[in-house]
Amino acid sequence: MMIPVWSWTLAAVFTPLGLLHLYWLLGGTRGIHAAIPTIADNKPLFQPGKLETAAVMALLWIAAFWMLLLGRELPGMLPSWLVNTGGYLISAIFLIRSVGDFRYIGFFKRYRGSPFARMDSRYYSPLCLALGASTLILLLH
């Protein structure tokens, strides 16, 4: 059956994304310049601190765990209504992220001149769209 493969594949995508945030949390800097949206003169739109980075890391790992719940790989851990609600929330977050804020992030951003904007158009927004849509497909199986 494809559902376990689908849920494990999604978990396998979310897990290293969490590991990347752990790397940054522990002081790593590789790739960070292309991971934060910038405004004119390549000034960062925001400076995520350790708390924000840890929160994103934890949420990505929760999403990985949630994919296994959605795929019924961990039956009976949580009520199905809660698992489904969490799945819809995860799907919505990533689909909304792929659309973006119409300024600095997402497919419809206006500012496209920074390293982040190029990476966002090429990788981040398509990945968010794929994760959101894949989670929705997993929910509707």
Q: What is the per-residue pLDDT for 57?
A: 98
Average pLDDT over residues 38-53: 89
Location of structure tokens 């497919």: 107
Predicted confidence (pLDDT) at residue 41 exceeds the cutoff of 70: yes
Tens of pLDDT, residue by residue over 65-109, are 999 999 998 888 999 999 999 999 999 999 999 999 999 999 999
pLDDT band at 4 (very low <50, low <70, confident <90, very high): confident
Q: d(Cα 63, Cα 17) in Å, to the nearest integer?
A: 10
CA distance 112 to 106: 10
Tell me how far apart the alpha carbons of residues 132 and 88 are, in angstroms, rounded to a whole number. 9
Residues 6 or more apart from 7 whose CB is under 8 A from it? 67, 68, 70, 71, 72, 73, 138
Q: What is the arithmetic mean of pLDDT over 43-65?
A: 96
Residues 32-61, mean pLDDT to the nearest whole number: 92
Q: What per-residue confidence (pLDDT) applies to 113?
A: 86
The most distant pair of C-alpha atoms in the chain lies apart, rounded to whole Å, by 52
pLDDT value for 1: 57
The residue among 76 and 2 whose pLDDT is bigger is 76
The average pLDDT across 54-69 equals: 98
Q: How confident is the model at residue 141 (pLDDT cuts 50, 70, 90)?
A: confident
Contacts 24+ apart (CB under 8 A), 16-25: 17/60, 18/57, 18/58, 18/60, 18/61, 18/64, 21/53, 21/54, 21/56, 21/57, 21/60, 22/57, 24/53, 25/50, 25/53, 25/54, 25/57
